[in-house]
Structure 1
Amino acid sequence: MRKTRIAIVGAGLAATPHALALNELNDEVDVVGVVGRSPERLKQFASTHGFPVSESFDAVLNDQSVDAVLVLTPPNTHLELVQRAAAAGKHVLLEKPLDISMVRAERAVQACRDAGVKLGVVFQNRFRPAVQRLAALTESGALGPLAYAGVDLRWWRPQSYYDEPGRGTYARDGGGVLMTQAIHSLDILMWLAGEVSSVVAATATTHLHSMEAEDFASAALTFESGAAGQILATTAAFPGFPERVELIGANGTAVLEGGHLRVFFHDGRVDEFNDPSSSGFGAKPMDFSHTAHRDLLKDFCAAIREDRAPLVTGDDALRVQRLIERITNRKGQCP
């Protein structure tokens, strides 16, 4: 099997779990280079993980042996990088969100579609064992038609997190808790419960944080299936708690808290599954296993080899970002 040759763009906070995952996949992936804006951080990252440093992004794009680029830069840089990579015929695996606005997000997806390259998005939580188990349960119809689907995410980020330049701003991140933290759980919600037909929402920046965007959001939803829904998301809940996804169906209720899944059936059965890995819900954002990143990367490389769509596509990410836009009511404000 020919190895997939990947170049990494960006060596910041999000890069470490990808690096650990890629090194575990070295029998099927070659990291051919890393590029970044900070020479010191780039050198340290490449040295720590044993990756070569590429001369520039242009050099990566001009290298005909490179199959794909893994883009791990801040959200407001995504569109231009994706457009250039797609024009060069490189497949793209993009850290969430697609970009800071729907307009830019749609352009990124369209650029890959027009160029005929794969676009995968880093919603790694789809690959967590408990989530996969819940997805299989839902797909099999074991829960029956859904009556309710909801997300409750009560995380904590200290003020020092938002004191980092650009954090929680519209110009760099495109938003706050919804775009940066809850987006993963919202992806799971829509993956399992489907499209949302109506939204009634409220957002706020609590006095616990000094930041531009929201650190609190709530919404009442109606899904196209007719099911009711609810979202609560915040980074102001000290010390942070595992996120909760709940599905109520005609045959039972499934409750996923972090990696702990419990399913209560009407006939008295109770199924339970526990994955002890964390999701970074407290003061340490990167306090989680890289295993889900590994499985996402493995799927993306297989999609390239097998000429199929990855499990998480650009269109999937657009659906979630469109829901976030409806909750925050910021349409057209970040062109």
Structure 2
Amino acid sequence: MSKLRVGIIGCGRISVVYKEAFKKCSDAIDVTFAMDKIIERADDFAKDFEGCVSSDLFEDTFEQELDVVHICTPHFLHKEQVVSCLNAGINVLTEKPMAINIPDAEMMIRAANKSGKKLGVIFQNRYIEGVKIAKELIDKGKLGNITGAWSLLTWWRPPSYYDCDWKGTWSEEGGGVLIDQAIHSIDLVQYLVGSEVEWIEGHIANRILKNVEVEDVADAAIKFKNGCIYSLFATNYYTNNAPVQIEIKGEKGTISLKGFDVTVCIDGERDRFYSQDSKSDDAKGHNYWGNYHFEQIREFYESTINDSPVFINGSEGKKALSIVLGVYESSKKTKKIKL
């Protein structure tokens, strides 16, 4: 079978992770197109792949006969670019958040359904070894009914992080610490709990990072329809990027995640599952990104080649986004809201 022809739209900070993943997938793909509004960034990305064309025009995407496009652009551009690529018959794997509002996310899902092409949303932490084991145990009922959950994200984003033309704005980033950083832990919690959300009561504020208009801290109580109460806290004005912590509590035991390592305690028996990131020095980019983009990207290619379902498709990607936007709505209205 011929290789997939792959392109990337957006060659900024996160692109180093994609470059490494593409090299690891060289048996299945040819990287033939790199686009960024700053042509030097696209040129720099393309030079690592023989025959790869670079451009600073999104419209050039449709001249390349691509099979898969990766969308790594500012959040507010995702909807337009994803829908355009799907309508052109190109499979799309987009970075999170898939959009900055629900109507845009639903438009993307409809475009995928209408075109018959694949749409995936990056939530690479679902591929952590211990998370996969934990999900299997929960789904088999080994923890009994899930009664509670909490997540804690205490990271640091210096003012320089927002030195660009879109971050830190409601209109283009769509929010702050929730939609950009904590969305990953929110996705893991809702994925492991395995239930729809009933209501959200949350609060956001900007306390320290006064150079931006979006929130730098958020907290919420979230009730799932299975009765689980989820306590959420996130901030990006801490002094460093501490390991994310998550706990899922069931009637028979507890699952805890710290960083990329997972501890399972059921009926007094404890097991620790260390991620490959704990043992590996080959992860590219910031260490808090982990090394799991490759796992999801490779699986997306396999789904494209085999015409099999995408694990984290548009509907899955919308779940965490709905929770994030629910916290924003609750805070704005200063009341509990139902999803």
* TM-score between the two structures when normalised by the length of structure 1: 0.91
- CA apart distance, 1:107: 1.5
Aligned residue runs from structure 1 range 41-56, under 5 A: 41-48=41-48, 52-55=52-55, 56=57
Deviation at 1:51, TM superposition (A): 6.5
Answer whether contact 1:245 1:257 (CA < 8 A) is retained: yes
How far apart are the structure 1 equivalents of 2:288 and 2:153? 16
Runs (5+) with no aligned partner, structure 1 = 279-283
The answer on whether the counterparts of 2:3 and 2:29 sit within 8 Å (CA) in structure 1 is yes
TM-score w.r.t. structure 2 length?
0.90
Counterpart amino acid of 1:241? A
Q: Distance in 1 between matches of 2:290 and 2:29?
A: 16
Q: Which residue of 1 aligns with 2:127?
A: 127
Q: Please say if 1:253 is aligned against 2:224.
A: no
Cα distance between partner residues in 2 of 1:118 and 1:222: 32
Give the partner amino acid of 1:299: E
The alpha-carbon deviation at position 305 of structure 1 amounts to 1.7
Other structure's SS at 2:5 match = strand
How far does the alpha carbon of each residue in 1:18-67 deviate from its partner, in whole angstroms, 9 at most, with x for none?
A: 11011011011211111111111211222256671245543432444x21
Contact 2:46 2:54 in 1 (8 A): no
Identity %: 32
- Deviation by residue 1:292-333 (Cα, 9 ceiling, x = unmatched): 11110111011112222211111111111111111011899x
Q: Provide the secondary structure at the position in 1 that maps to 2:70.
A: strand
Q: Which amino acid aligns with 1:67?
A: D
> Where does residue 244 of structure 2 map in the other structure?
243
1:98–1:124 CA distance, 2 compared to 1 (3 A): same
User: Is this contact kept in 2: 1:156–1:236, CA < 8 A?
Assistant: yes
Query: What residue in structure 1 maps to residue 336 of structure 2?
Result: none
Distance 1:106 1:95, change over 3 A: same
Superposition pairs of residues 144-223 of structure 1, within 5 angstroms: 144-193=144-193, 194-223=195-224
Cα 1:209–1:309 change in 2 (3 A) is: farther
1:231 corresponds in structure 2 to 232
Deviations 1:199-251 (A, max 9, x none): 11111111244311111110111111111111111111212211111111111
What RMSD, in angstroms, separates the aligned Cα atoms of the two structures?
A: 2.2
1:29-108 equivalent positions in 2, closer than 5 A: 29-48=29-48, 52-55=52-55, 56-64=57-65, 66-108=66-108
How many angstroms does 1:135 deviate by? 1.7
List alignment gaps of at least 5 residues for structure 2: 279-283, 333-339
For 1:281, the equivalent position in structure 2 comes to none
In the superposition, relative to structure 1, how do residues 16 and 215 fare at CA in structure 2: closer, same or farther (>3 Å)?
Answer: same
Contact kept in structure 2, 1:325 and 1:331, CA below 8 Å: no
